[in-house]
Amino acid sequence: MFGLWVADLAFSQGSLQIPVVERPPTLEDFSGMTPSEEIRGMMTRIDGFIQREPDDGEPSVQRTEAYVAYDQLNFYVVFLAFDDEPHNVRANLSPRESIWDDDKIGITIDTFNDQRTAYMFRANPLGVQQDARWREGGRMDTSYESVWYSEGRLTDQGFMVQFAIPFRSLRFSESDEQIWGIQVEREIVRLSENSFWPAYSRSVEGRLNQVATLVGIDDVSPGRNIQLVPFAFVRDFEVLDSKAKDGPGFTKDTEDNFGLDAKFVFGDSMVLDATINPDFSQVESDQPQVTVNERFEVRFPERRPFFLENSDYFSTERRLVFTRRIKDPQAGIRFTGKQGPWGFGAMLMDDEAPGQNRPLGDPLGGQSADVRIMRVYRDIGEQSSFGALLTGKKFGNASNTVVSLDGRFKLTPNWISQVQLINTDTRLQNGTELDGTMSSVRFDRSGRSFNVHAHRLDTSEDFKAELGYFSRDDSPDSQSTHTRLSYDFWPRASRLNKWGPTLFLNRIEDQSGTRLFSQVTPSFSWEWAADTEFEIEYDQTRERLRPQDFSGLTGSRDYAQDRWSLEFETEMLAKVSFSAEFESGTTINLKPISGTEPTLANTASTEIEVNWKPSTNFRIDTTYLLTELTDRNGAGDIFSNRIVRTRWNYQFTKEFSLRFIAQHEKTDPTALTSLKREENMNFDVLLRYVINPWSALYFGYNSNSSNFQLIDTENGKEVIRTTDLDRDGEQLFLKFSYLLQP
C-alpha cells in the first residue's frame, strides 16, 4: 500500500514522491486493469483527474490512474484509462504524431522546474506516439522529436498504455537530487473532455505554474550520451529545366547524398550538435495553402532534423530566427544548454543557396553565406525572464546584423506582458547601409471567461532581418496596434459546452501616421461535445495601396472590403471527421490586367476537409480548396483557383506503412487578370519503416505534370503553356538513416 499512501500525501502537498523500481514495469503487471501486488508496492499511483474542459474544476467523467516510477535508465509511467463505454474509445493505428483525433493520455515534465519549458509525451490507446516541447505562453512545438518507448492495449474496461522515457533523451540540471515539475493528462474526444492531475485551470494564466513537484529521483544522468545519425539519400530523377544555359530541356541524372548528424551531451543539460552535409531531404510534403492573390508570404513549418531539438532556445516574441531561411547548408554546429537560471544557444552555419543559379561570370557564383546566431536569457522570479539575441548573415559584400533585447513579465495570476526591442544593420552589395528598428509590446490576459490580447508594433522603414519571418503587422515602415477581446460562457447541464463573442481590432499606419490598413472583425462561436464547433464571422477592412506597394499605381488608393464567413467542424462520428469554411464578400484583385490598377472584386472561397477511417489501419484525408474572384460590374469571372489533395495511409504496424498522395491544382484566369493558366498534378507514393525519428527507411516515387509543351523554334527549344498536362518531372528515391548510441 506504499504507492497509495504516497500518492494521497503527494496530492495534499502538491508534490509527488517517486520510487525506484528493481525491474521495468510491463502491461502484464496490470492484467485486468489492476496492478499486481508486487507493482502496487513498487510504483506511486496518481488519480483524481480534474477537468479543464468542458467543466473546469469538476472531476473527470471517466476514471484514470497513472503509476510512476524510475530506475537508473528510464522514467516509467503506466496509465489505466477506464471507460464506461469501451467500444467508443477512439484508437487508430497511424503514423507517429498523427493521433490528433484519437483518445490520448500524456505526461508533461518540466525537468528544470523553472516553469518556462517542458517535455510533452503523449500516446493513443494503441501506443502510437506524439511528443512536443511546451514553451510557456501557450506554444506547443510538435516538430520536436525524441526516442522513447510506448505500448498500448485496448481492454474490456477501456485501455492501458505504458511509457518508458530514457533519461538520455532528456536534459536536466547536473545535481544528485532532481526536482521536476510533472503533470499527467487524458483527452476523451467524444466528450471534448481534457482532464489533468494536478488541476490545470483555465482561470489562471499559464500551465507550468500549475504542475506538481516531482521529488525522489536521485543519482541519474543521461550518461555517456553520444548520438550519431548517419544517413544516405539516393535518387534517380528526370526534371524539366526551363532556365538551362543551352535552352529549355529535360535533365536526367542519378544523385546520391551522404551525411552525418552528431549530438554530444555535457553535464546533463548542455548539448553540442554538429552536422556534415546535413540531412535536409524532406519526405513529408507541406499541407496545401492558397498563395494566389496574396500580398504577404505564406509560412511553412520547419521539418529538418538538425534544427529541431531545443529550437525554443532561439525563440522570441517576434520570429527573428526562422530556420527555413537557411536553405542549403553544407555544415553546421549548434550549442544549447541551461545552467541555473541562465539559458544559452549558439549556431554557426553556411548556406550555399545564395550562390546558386547566378549568371555566368558573377563573382558571387558558388559562394556561400555565413550565418551566425547567438542567444542568452535569464529567468527572473517565478515566470518572468529577460534575454538577448544576435543574428548575422554575410554574403559577399552584403551583411545583415540583428540585435534584440526581450523580456517576459508575469504581472498577476492572469496577466502577462512581453516586450522586445530590435535593431538591425544592413549593408547591401552596392555598399548602401540601412539602419532599422522594431519595438513590440504586448499584454495578455488569460482566464476561463474573459481573455485579452493587446499588441503594439513599431517598425522603421529600413528594418531588415533576413533570418526572420514577418507578416503585415510588422512589415517595414509601419505602426500596428491590434486587440482581441473574447468572452466565453460555459452553460451547466447543457449539450452546449461553450459559446461566446470575440472582437478583433487592427490598425496599421506608416511612420507618418497615414492609415494603411484597418480591420474590425466581430464573431460568435458555439462548441458542443466531440469537438463540434460552429462560428460566424464578419470582417470589415480598409486597405490603402501605395505606389511602393504596387507598381501599377500612380498614387495611393483606398479599398473598403467586407466579408462574411461560416465555419463548422466536428468529430462526432468515430470514423469520419469533417470541417468546412465558406467565405463571401469583397477583396482586392492584386492581379489586374497588366498596366492597370488593382480593383475591388467579389470573392467567394470554400475549404472542406474530410478525414475517413474505414478501418483501424486505414485512413483517407481529403482537402478541397476553391477561391473565386468575379468582377463587381458584371463583366464576369476574373479567376478561380482549385486545389484538391487526398492522402491515403495504410499502417501495417506502428513502424511500417504505405502512403499515397495525389494533389491537383488549377488556376483558371480570364481576360480580366494578368494571371496565366496554371495546372499541376502530383502523385507521391512512399513506403516507410520508422523505428524512431532517427532510424528509418523510406522508399518513394513521385511525379509531377503541368500544362506545358516543349516546342522547337528557330531560336531553339521553347516552353509554352497549353491546356493539356504533360509530365515535367519524376523521381525514384531511397533514404536511410540510423541512430547510433555508442
SS (H, E, C) 189-215: HHHCEEEEECCCCCCCCCCHHHCEEEE
In angstroms, rounded to a whole number, what is the distance separating the alpha carbons of residues 738 and 698? Answer: 12
In angstroms, rounded to a whole number, what is the distance separating the alpha carbons of residues 563 and 541? Answer: 9
In angstroms, rounded to a whole number, what is the distance separating the alpha carbons of residues 191 and 254? Answer: 52
Q: What is the pLDDT of residue 1?
A: 32
pLDDT at 287 over 70: no
pLDDT at 501 over 50: yes
If you average pLDDT over every residue of the chain, what do you get? Answer: 90
pLDDT at 4 over 50: no
Domain extents in the chain: 2-218, 498-674
Which residues touch 342 (CB under 8 Å, ≥6 apart)?
A: 376, 377, 378, 379
Are residues 422 and 447 in contact, defined by beta-carbon separation less than 8 angstroms?
no
In angstroms, rounded to a whole number, what is the distance separating the alpha carbons of residues 333 and 264? Answer: 11
CA angle (388, 182, 309) in 5-degree steps = 45
Q: What is the pLDDT of residue 8?
A: 36
Q: What is the pLDDT of residue 7?
A: 36
Q: Mean pLDDT over residues 385-393, rounded? A: 96
State how far Cα 262 lies from the chain centre: 24
Q: Helix H segments across 552-679? A: none
Which CATH code of 1.20.59.20, 2.60.40.1190, 1.10.3720.10, 2.40.128.20 fits the domain covering 2-218?
2.60.40.1190
Which residues touch 401 (CB under 8 Å, ≥6 apart)?
A: 390, 391, 392, 424, 425, 426
Question: Tens digits of per-residue pLDDT, 544-581?
Answer: 998 888 887 888 999 999 999 999 999 999 999 999 99
pLDDT at 13 over 60: no
Are residues 475 and 459 in contact, defined by beta-carbon separation less than 8 angstroms?
yes
pLDDT band at 139 (very low <50, low <70, confident <90, very high): confident
Which DSSP string do the residues of 120-138 spell out, in sequence order? EEEE-TT--EEEEEEETTT
How far, in Å, are 252, 361, 394, 430 from residue 358 at the CA level?
21, 8, 17, 17
How far, in Å, are 241, 357, 717 from residue 245 at the CA level?
9, 10, 12
* Cis bond upstream, residue 354 (ω within 30): no
Q: Mean pLDDT over residues 79-103, rounded? A: 95
Are residues 422 and 297 in contact, defined by beta-carbon separation less than 8 angstroms?
no
The helix or strand, by DSSP H or E, that contains position 455, with its residue range, turns out to be strand 450-459
Q: 653 exposed, middle or buried (CB, 10 Å; 0-12, 13-18, 19+)?
A: exposed
pLDDT band at 225 (very low <50, low <70, confident <90, very high): confident
The better pLDDT of the pair 478, 353 is held by 478
Of 317, 328, 224, the residue nearest 267 (C-alpha): 224
Q: Mean pLDDT over residues 148-156, rounded? A: 97
How far, in Å, are 477, 545, 556, 682 from residue 516 at the CA level?
10, 7, 10, 39
Are residues 99 and 126 in contact, defined by beta-carbon separation less than 8 angstroms?
no
Are residues 466 and 437 in contact, defined by beta-carbon separation less than 8 angstroms?
no
Any bridge partners for residue 148, and if so which? none
For residue 265, how many C-alpha atoms fall within 13 Å in the half-sphere facing its CB? 23
Question: Tens digits of per-residue pLDDT, 354-379?
Answer: 888 788 788 888 899 999 999 999 99
Q: Count other C-beta atoms under 10 Å from residue 133's C-beta.
A: 22
Are residues 422 and 318 in contact, defined by beta-carbon separation less than 8 angstroms?
yes
Share of the chain above pLDDT 90, in %: 70
Of 476, 501, 477, 498, the residue nearest 487 (C-alpha): 501
Q: What is the pLDDT of residue 12?
A: 36
pLDDT band at 67 (very low <50, low <70, confident <90, very high): very high
Which residues touch 575 (CB under 8 Å, ≥6 apart)?
A: 612, 613, 614
278: DSSP letter: -
pLDDT at 453 over 80: yes
In angstroms, rounded to a whole number, what is the distance separating the alpha carbons of residues 638 and 550? Answer: 19
Q: Mean pLDDT over residues 84-99, rounded? A: 95
The better pLDDT of the pair 267, 655 is held by 655
Instruction: Match 513537484 to its residue by C-alpha cell.
Output: 213
Instruction: Match 517517486 to its residue by C-alpha cell.
Output: 18
pLDDT at 300 over 80: no
pLDDT band at 283 (very low <50, low <70, confident <90, very high): low
Q: What is the pLDDT of residue 304?
A: 73
Question: Tens digits of per-residue pLDDT, 174-212?
Answer: 888 999 999 999 999 999 999 999 999 999 999 999 999
pLDDT band at 327 (very low <50, low <70, confident <90, very high): confident
For residue 457, how many C-alpha atoms fall within 13 Å in the half-sphere facing its CB? 21
Instruction: Match 464576369 to its residue by C-alpha cell.
Output: 636
Of 420, 195, 449, the residue nearest 317 (C-alpha): 420
In angstroms, rounded to a whole number, what is the distance separating the alpha carbons of residues 77 and 2? Answer: 17
Are residues 112 and 173 in contact, defined by beta-carbon separation less than 8 angstroms?
yes
pLDDT band at 279 (very low <50, low <70, confident <90, very high): low
Q: What is the pLDDT of residue 722?
A: 87
pLDDT at 644 over 90: yes
